[in-house]
């Protein structure tokens, strides 16, 4: 009986799975992800060289639990990994169309840098021939040369407008043209995503009259996109770097219904009605305190027509007379209108019947 008991005890100890150190697991996963061609036995050998003794089966189990495929499947580089590894040296280009109010179709050629998301407009035309596209390549090629990190690849689709002469312009400066597969827009996803952005944020909100109109609208939006629009992939920064705002244009946001403690006591400050002050008090408790007219942020140029249109719509529910005496200040924001009882600068609440902005403090309570 003793040998059987000893054998049973030996079997139990052999089947017991001792937990591997967390740092060792993280190291195994890191080695596998940074070296796709390494199998579990190669990783075991590297760990042995570092003085870490781990069984090959343990390494295999760690890779399985982490969802990492075997070495032959991981050694092949995907298209996404290629773009991420060489983003600083890749530029993508593509055409997109814009239809005018007179049912004429315009073609726009645009380039985008994958690393910075900076967009460059090449040109607008009604007849994009191979010669026109080649000429636009000659005009824009100076933008991608003489850099600390040179551009190495240009991605475009298999459109017949991208001729051999077009690729030769870039090849002469050391840029290799890569054509995407047939009917594979995801292979050129960066420029396709920007085309969707310019449609949603600009072109779908305007009626383009002709080519001259489009040539005036697109550069304004591209300048806004490159210099002001935040990007999640750039940590909410713009492609060309956003300038720091002046101290006079920053509004302090406060929450009035947050509990604050002072000397061990807790108080709950509720939203109070605006008693003739110059700040705006939102019904939910958010406030923008003491904003003067000169410190209001300046609206972008392509947004100002939308701001004036929104002002006309927002004044009607406050008992307006329907007159069209709209006045917009130099900074792009609507001026106060005492006739309609709506103050766009000093407040947003409606006034009592017969009251004006001059005696607002007496009627607000």
Give the CATH number of the domain where residue 180 resides: 3.30.420.10
C-alpha pair distances (Å), 131 with each of 112, 163, 164, 171: 22, 9, 11, 17
Rounded Cα distance between 31 and 47, Å, is 10
Mark whether 29 and 115 lie in a shared domain: no
Specify the pLDDT at position 128. 96
pTM summary value: 0.53
Residues 119 and 222 in one domain: yes
Q: Are 208 and 186 in contact (CB under 8 A)?
A: no
Domain shared by 225 and 254, yes or no: no
Q: Which domain holds residue 203?
A: 84-234
Contact 54, 42 (CB under 8 A): no
Kindly state whether residues 226 and 167 are assigned to the same domain.
yes
> Residue 254's pLDDT is what?
54
3-state SS class at 288: strand
Residues of the chain falling short of pLDDT 70: 1-20, 75-77, 242-365
Q: How many CB atoms lie within 10 A of CB 221?
A: 21
Say which DSSP state 286 is in.
E
Q: Could you tell me the strand order of the sheet in which 286-288 lies?
A: 253-255, 286-288, 280-281
pLDDT digits (tens, 9 = 90+) for 90-127: 999 999 999 999 999 999 999 999 999 999 999 999 99
End-to-end CA, the chain:
96
* Whether residues 304 and 335 fall in one domain: yes
pLDDT at position 220 is: 96
Domain co-membership, 365 together with 280: yes
Report d(CA 269, CA 267) in Å as an integer: 6
Q: Would you tell me the crossing angle of helices 189-201 and 211-227 to the nearest 10 degrees?
A: 110
Picking from 335, 342, 336, the residue whose alpha carbon sits closest to that of residue 319 is 342
The count of structural domains within the chain is 3
d(CA 255, CA 241): 30
Same domain for 301 and 188, yes or no, is: no
In a domain, 6, yes or no: no
2 located within any domain: no
pLDDT at position 200, please?
A: 96
- Please tell me whether residues 140 and 176 are part of one structural domain: yes
Mark which of 33, 55, 74 sits at the end of a domain: 74
């Amino acid at each position: 009986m003793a040998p059987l008991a000893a054998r049973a005890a030996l079997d139990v100890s052999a089947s017991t799975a001792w937990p591997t150190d967390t740092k060792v697991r993280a190291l195994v996963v890191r080695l596998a992800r940074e070296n796709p061609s390494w199998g579990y036995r190669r990783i075991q050998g590297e760990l042995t060289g570092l003085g870490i003794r781990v069984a090959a089966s343990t390494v295999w189990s760690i890779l399985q639990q982490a969802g990492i495929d075997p070495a032959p499947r991981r050694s092949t580089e995907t298209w996404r990994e290629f773009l991420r590894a060489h983003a600083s040296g890749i530029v993508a280009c593509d055409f997109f169309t814009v239809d005018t109010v007179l049912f004429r179709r315009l073609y726009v050629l645009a380039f985008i840098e994958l690393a910075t998301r900076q967009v460059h407009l090449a040109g607008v035309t009604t007849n994009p021939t191979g010669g026109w596209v080649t000429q636009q390549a000659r005009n824009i090629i100076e933008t991608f040369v003489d850099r600390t990190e040179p551009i190495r690849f240009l991605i475009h689709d298999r459109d017949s407008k991208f001729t051999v002469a077009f690729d030769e312009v870039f090849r002469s400066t050391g840029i290799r043209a890569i054509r995407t597969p047939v009917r594979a827009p995801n292979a050129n996803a960066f420029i396709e995503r920007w085309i969707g952005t310019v449609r949603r944020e600009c072109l779908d909100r305007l009626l383009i009259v002709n080519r001259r109109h489009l040539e005036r609208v697109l550069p304004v939006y591209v300048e806004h996109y490159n210099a002001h629009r935040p990007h999640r992939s750039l940590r909410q920064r713009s492609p060309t770097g956003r300038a720091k705002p002046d101290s006079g244009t920053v509004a302090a946001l406060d929450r009035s219904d947050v509990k604050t403690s002072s000397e061990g006591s807790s108080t709950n400050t509720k939203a109070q009605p605006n008693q003739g002050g110059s700040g705006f008090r939102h019904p939910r408790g958010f406030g923008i305190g003491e904003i003067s007219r000169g410190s209001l942020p300046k609206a972008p140029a392509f947004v100002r027509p939308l701001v004036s249109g929104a002002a006309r719509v927002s004044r009607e529910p406050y008992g307006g007379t329907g007159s069209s005496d709209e006045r917009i200040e130099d900074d792009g924001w609507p001026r106060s209108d005492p006739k309609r009882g709506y103050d766009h600068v000093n407040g947003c609440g409606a006034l009592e019947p017969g009251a004006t902005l001059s005696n607002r403090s007496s009627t607000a309570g």
